[in-house]
Amino acid sequence: MKHYHVPEVGGVSPPISTSQPTLVAKNLASVEELAFFDRVKKFLGNKATYNEFLKLLNLFSQDILDRKLLVEKVETFLSPNKELMEWFKAFVGWDGKDEVIENVAAPRHKVDLSTCRRYGESYRLLPKNVRASPT
């Protein structure tokens, strides 16, 4: 960030413009979050390992890892320290429940093949409003 000297006019500095958004106000972490990351850094004790931990968080922030996979990967770093691991789970909103996605096929309209035009012994021409299912 560049800093510019603003000249004083008549011994008084001009007021700071509030129309420009400040970087400082946008991305402040809480004191508790900063303390957590400091404790993780000390717990891991190795700069390369800490950077790998941060890479996981970066992948999660880019939606490359989902929450479940993030927690599984972070457990390899933090599982010996239950307190750090529990705080991390709460921080990312992990409740321990798997998200269940049901794979239910949409109901299909049954075609009465006896009303369809025949093409040979085993083929029938389906109505235009019926999609053929992929095989």
Q: Which fold has domain 29-92?
A: Paired amphipathic helix 2 (pah2 repeat) (1.20.1160)
- Which comes out higher in pLDDT, residue 1 or 128? 128
Residue 85 has pLDDT above 50, yes or no: yes
Read off the pLDDT of each residue in 18-28 and give the average, rounded to a whole number. Answer: 48
Structure token digits, residue 18: 């509030």
* In the predicted structure, residue 78 carries a pLDDT above the cut 90: yes
List the one residue out of 82, 77, 86 whose CA is nearest residue 48. Answer: 77
Closest of 43, 39, 37 to residue 57, by C-alpha: 37
Q: Which of 110, 107, 112, 37 is nearest to 78 (CA)?
A: 37
Q: How far apart, in whole angstroms, are the C-alpha atoms of residue 21 and residue 57?
A: 26
Domain map (residue ranges) of the chain: 29-92
CA 89 to CA 103: how far, in whole Å?
Answer: 28
Residue 27 pLDDT level (bands cut at 50, 70, 90):
low
pTM over 0.85: no
